[in-house]
Copies of this chain bind each other. A is one copy, B any other.
């Protein structure tokens, strides 16, 4: 990809209208970002109904009119904050797997990362809201596409890098990961589960890649490729 053209200081005197427009855009981006930060914090604590536009504006040191200017409605702000946080979680999960060497550690690193915060539950709340607000569906759809696309890319890279044998189509594996994450979190948060319990349940439900004690399980899974090899490691 070609690098972006760099403008020198001489080309951008402070009186240049282009510079002023850029400065405005940049200030706008900062304000947007600050509003999303405050919204994320308050919505996670209190839910959609528990946080008002004026609460969020106050927390971001802004005016309520700035929220309606940038986001139009509280619901749109809720969904955008949740979508942004979900993509952050996906990136953090990917980062958490960079140093792992086995499929089991890989799955555990991913699951620990996504169960450490309530971002997936926040996102699930945004999905539930969007069902009744189809005007917000395009943002949700783009987020889910990115989630699946980036998940597929990250998983495929790991498989290739380590020479692992994936148990099935990597795209389905990545989609399953997020569907299970949403399902387990929605169930678990309703029942007031701790992060440790959510992590254990998600590992259990995801399966294969995370089987820890085959001897204790009623069923033992034997990978024919590995069971004949000398290292004796069971499954993956």
Contact = CB atoms under 8 A, between A and B. Distances in A.
Interface of A: 46-47, 49-50, 121, 124-128, 130-132, 134, 137, 140-141, 144, 166-169, 172, 175-176, 178-184, 186-187, 189-192, 201, 204-208, 211, 217-225, 235
22 contacts: A49-B132, A124-B128, A125-B128, A127-B189, A128-B128, A130-B191, A131-B189, A134-B192, A137-B191, A137-B192, A140-B190, A167-B218, A168-B208, A169-B218, A172-B204, A172-B207, A175-B204, A179-B179, A182-B186, A218-B235, A221-B222, A222-B222
A74 to B, nearest CB: 13
A173 to B, nearest CB: 8
A108 to B, nearest CB: 16
A180 B176 contact: yes
Nearest to A144: B187
Instruction: State the oligomeric state as a number of copies.
Output: 2
Contacts of A180: 176, 179-180, 183
Contact of A187 (B182, B192, B206): B182
A205 B186 contact: no
Contact of A205 (B179, B223, B224): B179
Contacts of A189: 127-128, 131
Residue of A47, A191, A217, A224 with most partner-chain B CB within 10 A: A191
